Amino acid sequence: EISRMLTNVVDTTLRGGNAKIPGYSVAAKTGTAQMTNEGEAGYVEGKYLHSFFGYFPSYEPKFLVFLFHTYPKDVRYASETLTDPFLNITKFLINYYQIPPDRPEDVINTLAQ
């Protein structure tokens, strides 16, 4: 159930549904946390920690990727800073290790369009 939900994030939510890698199920979860105020109570306004956790193939994972970024500039959400690096790493791993597609119907549907 969790893998299905996290795969749906990649298929439909990240980049408005344009983060999907044809032929592959990829699961991911982003996180955005406000940074704490060192030495004082509370949080620093406008300062964030971004995290991005993903794995693939979603239902029989071969790889897990975790990225984080502290104090990103002029960007609030992790999906804005870490989606591209995650996808680049994922595509590299798929190609380098020659991971076979686990969703061949996606490739067929993409070619048919």
CATH code of the domain covering residue 99:
3.30.450.330
Each residue's pLDDT tens digit, 77-108: 999 999 999 999 999 999 999 999 999 776 55
- Give the chain's domain count: 1
Structure tokens at 86: 């995650």
- At 5-62, the pLDDT tens digits run 999 999 999 999 899 999 999 999 999 999 999 888 999 998 999 999 999 999 999 9
Give the residue numbers spanning the domain of 46: 2-112
Q: What is the pTM of this model?
A: 0.86
Distance, in Å, from the CA atom of 94 to the CA atom of 63, rounded to the nearest integer, reads: 9
CA–CA dist 23, 25 (Å, integer) = 7
Q: What pLDDT score does 25 carry?
A: 97
